[in-house]
Structure formats: C-alpha cells, structure tokens
C-alpha cells in the first residue's frame, strides 16, 4: 500500500489517471481523503481559471481566425504626481497559456512579477513607450499618453494589423478597438498592463535612488503621506509633474 505522503505527492501534480483516482477514493485513511479534497478544489480552481481565460480572449479569437496580428495596448502612470507615463504594446500568440494574466491592479506584487516573466517568455513581441514629466507638462497627460501609446505601437518589430486598446484611441493608421476596462476583458491588454506596471515600478525604484526623500520605491509617484512630506521639506524634484496639484501650488 502506498503511503499517505506518496499519494499526496501524486495528487499535488494534478496528473492523476482514472485508475489511480478510483483507487485513492477507496482508501479510507483521513490523510488520503483530505488530499483528495484538495485535489478536487485545485481542479475546480483550474477549470474556473480556464473559463475566465477563454472569456478574456473573446476579442482576440475572431481576429486571430482572420490571421490578424493583434497587439494589446495599455498605459500605467496617468495619475501620479511624479515620474513618467509608461505604455506597453504586447503581441501574444493564439496558443498562449497565460491563464492568470488579468488586470494588473488586481494582482499582488509577487504574482505580477511572475506573470511578467511568463508574458516575456510567451509573447511574440513587446515594446515600451515612456513619456517624461516634461512631456506631460507640455502636452497634458491625456495627449502625452496618446503619444506614448503611439511610440510603443510603432516600436514593435512585428507590425500589428489590429490594436486592442484600454479605453483610448492610439493616433496611428491601424484598425483598432477601444475597450472600456480592457485590462480586465482582454488578455492582450492585460498583458500590456502588467508589462507597463512592472517597467514603471522598476523605473520609480531607480528614481528613488537618484532623488531620495520622496519614498518613490513605495508610492511610485502617487501622493502618499511620505511623498507629500518630502515635497514640503525639499520641494519638487526634476521628475515631478509641475502642472499637477499640489506641485504647481508649491512652485
């Protein structure tokens, strides 16, 4: 007879044959039954993930069937008081297995970092656009975001024939669809959201070393208590957006 530990190890892989499952179901030991319950819960969760994943490909699937090269486009950083706005454009293959890729705001830092690595491994192409605080002050945040989205799309090596964009229109001559809450409804946009978020967060951690005292590593430019205290004590630094309140009031 197999030990409970051996059975637990088999069930943890989720690669269990029908014969093994029938055998384990006949085993009355409490440890085996607990392992079976965990196995069933994992299967259910995996099926829920698969179904949600299929739903998040509802925009991509018909386009892929038409042989379109689809790029998801999203930005991060429109609201902060400091730092750039960052946009990502991501082209995914139609056989990707990014089941957990979702709106970056719904993910923990650890999960988002892992998914960022998965996206980089599976994507056919990824590009980034970065708009500085100076560009934002000059153009206004909305237009700056449009320009950065254009930069990201035009930097792709694999030229897209169709864009799926989160709640905006990219000023390029490429067919596109603007999707409200796109990062929760399209796997391509969600992937772009995660890539943009990871890149921008890493940039803000670097800026924290260059401009210490504002706690950029933790607030990534948003107006937290520590950030506002740093502003009061030291004034604005070169990456602060001078047209944003309260920066313009301080200046």
Mean pLDDT per 10-residue run, the chain (251 residues)? 86 84 90 90 89 95 98 97 98 96 89 97 98 98 98 98 98 98 96 98 98 98 96 96 92 77
CATH code reported for the domain at 70-198 = 3.30.420.10
Q: Output phi, psi for 130, to 5 deg.
A: -130, 125
pLDDT of residue 7: 86
pLDDT of residue 90: 98
Mention every residue, 6+ apart, whose C-beta is less than 8 A from residue 51.
none
pLDDT of residue 2: 87
Q: Please, are residues 89 and 126 in contact by the beta-carbon 8 Å criterion?
A: yes
Q: Where does CATH 3.30.420.10 sit in the chain? A: 70-198
Cis omega before residue 77 (within 30°)? no
pLDDT of residue 78: 97
Cα 134 from Cα 86, distance rounded (Å) = 14
Q: How many CA atoms lie within 13 A of 63 on its CB side?
A: 23
């Amino acid at each position: 007879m197999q030990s409970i530990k051996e059975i637990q190890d088999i069930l943890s892989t989720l690669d269990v044959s029908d014969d093994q499952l029938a055998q384990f179901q006949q085993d009355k030991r409490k440890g085996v039954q607990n392992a079976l319950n965990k196995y069933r819960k994992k299967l259910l969760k995996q099926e829920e993930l698969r179904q949600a994943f299929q739903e998040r490909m509802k925009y991509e699937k018909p386009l892929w069937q038409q042989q379109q090269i689809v790029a998801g486009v999203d930005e991060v950083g429109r609201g902060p008081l400091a730092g750039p706005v960052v946009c990502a454009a991501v082209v995914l293959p139609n056989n990707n297995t990014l089941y957990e890729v979702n709106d970056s705001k719904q993910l923990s830092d650890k999960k988002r970092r892992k998914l960022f690595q998965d996206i980089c491994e599976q994507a056919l192409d990824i590009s980034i656009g970065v708009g500085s605080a100076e560009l934002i002050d000059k153009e206004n945040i909305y237009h700056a975001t449009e320009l950065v989205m254009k930069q990201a799309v035009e930097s792709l090596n694999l030229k897209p024939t169709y864009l799926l964009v989160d709640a905006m229109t990219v000023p390029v001559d490429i067919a596109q669809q603007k999707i409200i809450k796109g990062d929760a409804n399209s796997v391509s946009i969600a992937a772009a959201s995660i890539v943009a978020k990871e890149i921008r967060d890493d940039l803000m951690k670097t800026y924290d070393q260059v401009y210490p005292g504002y706690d950029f590593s933790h607030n990534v430019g948003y107006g937290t208590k520590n950030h506002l205290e740093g502003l009061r004590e030291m004034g604005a630094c070169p990456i602060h957006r001078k047209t944003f309140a309260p920066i313009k009031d301080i200046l």
